[in-house]
Amino acid sequence: MNNQGFFNDELLEKRVDTFYGYGDYQGNYWFVGMEEAGGDFNDINNRINIWSNRGKQEIEDIAEYHKDIGWGGSFLSGAKLDVPVWRAIIRIVLSAKGKENFDKKDILAYQINELGRKYKETCLLELLPLPSPSLKHWIFAQHSRLSFLSNRDTYEKYCLEKRINHISQRIK
């Protein structure tokens, strides 16, 4: 469906079934989050269309993808440490690697050059594939005719077991 105000349901379903996150499955450090944050219909629709245009990859390079969706400033010189989850992940990785006394400059360098990048050491997976700004915010029922998106509970029941199994297989 390509009507204004509606997602392309075929593409949306493909995203739900095949998108898992960012980075590299060969990485030494894996993190599984609930879902990435998202904004309004236009923001999420843009993210899904860009993902499609980039080849509908199972796992993306976080910096390249975010540049394409217009949020690439976090991966450029002069970036800020404005994503708390990323800061926490980076602190964990730097600590696990034995780095002591790291500062904001070290965290920022890792964010720009390493975090969630293809052929690098981190793998950032999403348990749920659709962006949403909060648990209470559910726009998909108003913008899709896919029955499993009628509410968050139905969506989670549709996704979770299948995605947990897929991630478990990737771990093995």
Reported pTM: 0.93
**Domain around 114:** 9-171
Number of domains in the chain: 1
Amino acid (one-letter) located at 82: D
Residue 2 lies in a domain: no
Q: pLDDT tens digits, residue range 147-170?
A: 999 999 999 999 999 999 999 999
Residue 80 lies in a domain: yes
Q: Select from 64, 159, 79, 85 the least CA-distant residue to 112.
A: 79
Residue 4 lies in a domain: no
Contact call for residues 112 and 87 (beta carbons, < 8 A): no
Pairing of strands 122-126, 21-23: antiparallel
102-110: long-range contacts (C-beta < 8 A, 24 or more apart)?
107/81, 108/79, 108/80, 108/81
Q: pLDDT tens digits, residue range 97-148?
A: 999 999 999 999 999 999 999 999 999 999 999 999 889 999 999 999 999 9
The backbone region for 2, taken as left when phi is positive above 0, alpha when psi lies in -120 to 50, beta otherwise, is: alpha
24-33, 34-43, 115-124: the lowest-pLDDT one: 34-43
